[in-house]
Copies of this chain bind each other. A is one copy, B any other.
């Protein structure tokens, strides 16, 4: 399987490293807009030997022409419209694409016409495209959905995730509003420039899987304010400034709350965990102690989805339409 990496930021580099360890994958090239990366090899960028001939191109069209990949791993945008725009050449060529694009976890929420167009295009060209990740893509949507496989009845779903952001990468600490003035935090969130992306899409994916027609999705996001000074490798937060976010997203149907997602990501959050409550019969009350670690799990989800995506019929797929998630043992041949 010839695999190329689109987007060579921190997550993209981790994806290259994990992909290179798979006996079923050969990394053949990359795409990035960063001029200093263009022309370098994936070995230069990742420090992993054996990819000296796998070069970085400034565009997907050039990459495809030069390297004939079968699979594209995409980690370059949170926006479904940007992502689909970026990936159009891959779909036109009938390739298989796995993306960490947050909004693409349920693209029909914000862009139903574009999603339908790409689904039709992918089916026609024999291409497959899916988004995955740890959140969205697993902890707050796929895992609670999988739990309901043993439910006779589901009336509502509540998921809570608490993440200590102090050990995470710099872009994430920035995105959650670390060190911001609370007023700036609120302004930026209102402008769509901060906060956890793909939250409404997780709610929509859950509701879709449960067969619930939501009337409304409500989202709010408030800063978690530092009581005392906290310093990480990247931020030094004074009392009164933001440590990160407390974001909530709720799905309502017929006046009833059907889905509640509650996310706290901030520097120094104590007792990180993921908790799921499926109300119904039987009641299901699940706790992941320590929580599912973000960056490792996102890259793992991306690599692990590839064999399952290749097994699916062509189209723009939801990750819930693929077979059961599982670890791809790197010693396996596909």
Q: CB-defined interface of A125-164 with B at 8 Å, one 1/0 digit per residue?
A: 0000000001000110011011111111110000000000
Return the contact of A289 from the options B18, B280, B286, B320 (Cβ within 8 A). Answer: B286
A297-B282 in contact given A149-B142, A150-B138, A211-B331 (Cβ < 8 Å): yes
Specify which of B282, B283, B297, B323 is in contact with A150 (CB 8 Å cutoff): B297
The CA of A301 and the CA of B143, in the complex, are separated in Å by 16
Complex interface: chain B residues within 8 A of A146 (CB): 143, 146, 324-326
Contact between chains at A325 and B287 (CB < 8 Å): no
Does A219 belong to the interface (CB within 8 Å)? Answer: no
The A contact surface, by secondary structure, is mixed
- Residues in B whose Cβ lies below 8 Å from that of A296: 150, 152, 281-282
Q: Please name all residues of chain B whose beta carbon is closer than 8 Å to the beta carbon of A212 when the two chains form the complex.
A: 329
Q: Do the beta carbons of A283 and B290 come within 8 Å of each other?
A: yes
In this assembly, does A197 line the interface, its C-beta being within 8 Å of a C-beta of chain B? no
Range, interface on chain A? 35 or more
Q: Which residues of B contact A286 (CB under 8 A)?
A: 286-289
* A66 contacts partner chain B, Cβ-Cβ < 8 Å: no
A165-178 contact mask (Cβ, 8 Å, vs B): 1 or 0: 00000000000000
Copies in the complex: 2
**Most B-side CB within 10 Å, residue of A289, A300, A303, A304:** A300
A36 contacts chain B at the CB level, 8 A cutoff: no
A1 CB to closest chain B CB, in angstroms? 16
Q: Write out the residue numbers on chain B whose beta carbons fall within 8 Å of the beta carbon of A210.
A: 326-327, 329
What is the 8 Å Cβ interface bit string for chain A, positions 311-330, against chain B (1 contact, 0 not)?
00000000111111111010
Contacts of A220 in B (CB 8 A): none
- Pairwise interchain contact B304-A151, C-beta atoms closer than 8 A: yes
Bound complex: CA of A320 vs CA of B297, how far in Å?
20
* Minimum Cβ distance to chain B for residue A18 (Å): 6
Q: Is the CB of A209 within 8 A of B326?
A: yes
Q: Which residue of B lies closest to A293 (CB)?
A: B282
A282: nearest residue on chain B (CB-CB)? B293
The CA of A283 and the CA of B300, in the complex, are separated in Å by 13
Closest A-B pairs by Cβ, 6 of them: A149-B325, A211-B329, A150-B297, A148-B327, A282-B293, A152-B300
